Amino acid sequence: MREPDRIIRLKTILVRTGLSRSTIYRKIAEGTFPAQIRISVNGAGWHESDINRWIADPVSWRPKSEFDFDD
């Protein structure tokens, strides 16, 4: 059974990636970093699995398309 995909917040992303807030948002705009998801009216977070994929291979990371399926 798979673990549920946790939602992690910006502070955790900053620590785990070593990137600055402005760099993260610039990379999101460029399409080279996972986009955040809305979790409440004033809150957003990221799927931990997306961040782990980015950390594993930041140079070739691309957003999953709707046709990508998990095993």
How much is the pLDDT for 2? 62
Average pLDDT, the chain: 88
Per-residue model confidence as pLDDT tens digits over 4-36: 789 999 999 999 999 999 999 999 999 999 999
Residues 10-38 as b/e (b if ≥16 CB within 10 A, e otherwise) read eeebeeebebeeeebeebeeeeebbebee
Indicate the residue type of 30: E
Task: Note the pLDDT of residue 68.
Answer: 55
**Domain layout of the chain by residue ranges:** 7-56
At 19 the pLDDT is: 96
Q: What is the mean predicted confidence (pLDDT) over 39-45?
A: 92
Q: Which residues pair with 7 in a beta bridge?
A: 47
